[in-house]
Amino acid sequence: MAASSSNSSQLALHLADRALTPILSSSRQPSTSAAQSRNQAQGLSALTTAAITAYESALRLGLGVPERIMIETQSSGPIVLHSYLNPQSIQRPRSCRTQSRDTEEEIAEQTRSELRPVSGTINNGEEQGRSYEVLVNGVLEGDDEDEENNSMHQPPMLIASVIAPSAADSGEARRAAARLERTGRTFQREWAREQEESRQPHALPDEDDG
């Protein structure tokens, strides 16, 4: 884990993944004692946990995929900025196969609704064969084998957190959050590049038959 190089000691910065593994954190500043560093690390980790809970709650409630959350306290107290660095945009174009499947499902659903008995419901087992695209960890995943393989090699989602002592520091906190987001995106690109290189077949040396 790297120590944060923030220009302002008033801001607390933290960049971690969903497993709470810190990638960059201001809790590792050389000027802080071991006890202070440990306490601050625990507090920042707790804030990351709360941010992940809010992210998952928004998904379950169908509110869309969160990108940023800002928490303000009363009397111009501390503010918290959370940024969610999703490795893959869910707005990517869907395949023709998926669109065709959706059309077939709409027709089947309309037919079932027209034939639905008044005193009963259709057996849920009829829908067990249907395929869905599911949002998992902020990544849109389908039932296609290639999509599952691609999702396994996606970089982790990162949570960037900035804590400022008061609302008067909100401008500086936003600038720090933007820098932390860029750092996280750089990390994700490097992670993806290393994964891609590890998947490339290595050429075997030519044997000298002579």
Question: pLDDT tens digits, residue range 169-206?
Answer: 999 999 999 999 999 999 999 999 998 888 877 655 66
Q: Does 123 map to a domain?
A: no
Q: Does 71 map to a domain?
A: yes
Q: Does 164 map to a domain?
A: yes
Token pair of 159, please? 């949570």
Largest Cα–Cα distance of the chain, in whole Å?
Answer: 84
Q: Does 81 map to a domain?
A: yes
CA pair distance 179, 74, nearest whole angstrom: 27
Between 197 and 108, the higher pLDDT residue: 197
Q: Does 144 map to a domain?
A: no
How much is the pLDDT for 200?
A: 78
Between 67 and 127, the higher pLDDT residue: 67
Question: If you average pLDDT over residues 94-100, what whole number do you get?
Answer: 48
How much is the pLDDT for 169?
A: 94
Residue 37, C-beta contacts closer than 8 angstroms, at least 6 positions apart = 27, 28, 29
Q: Are 192 and 155 within 8 A, CB to CB?
A: yes
How much is the pLDDT for 120?
A: 42
State which residues form the domain around 41: 2-87+156-197
Q: Does 174 map to a domain?
A: yes
How many distinct structural domains can be found in the chain?
1
How much is the pLDDT for 119?
A: 39
Name the average pLDDT for the chain: 76
Q: In this structure, what CATH number is given to the domain that contains residue 67?
A: 3.30.450.30
CA pair distance 28, 172, nearest whole angstrom: 21
How much is the pLDDT for 60?
A: 96
- One-letter amino acid of 53: T
Q: Does 203 map to a domain?
A: no
Q: Does 118 map to a domain?
A: no
Between 132 and 108, the higher pLDDT residue: 108
Question: pLDDT tens digits, residue range 1-49?
Answer: 655 554 456 899 999 999 999 999 998 777 678 888 889 999 999 999 9
Q: Are 170 and 76 within 8 A, CB to CB?
A: no
pTM of the model: 0.65
Phi, psi of 22 (to 5 degrees): -75, 135
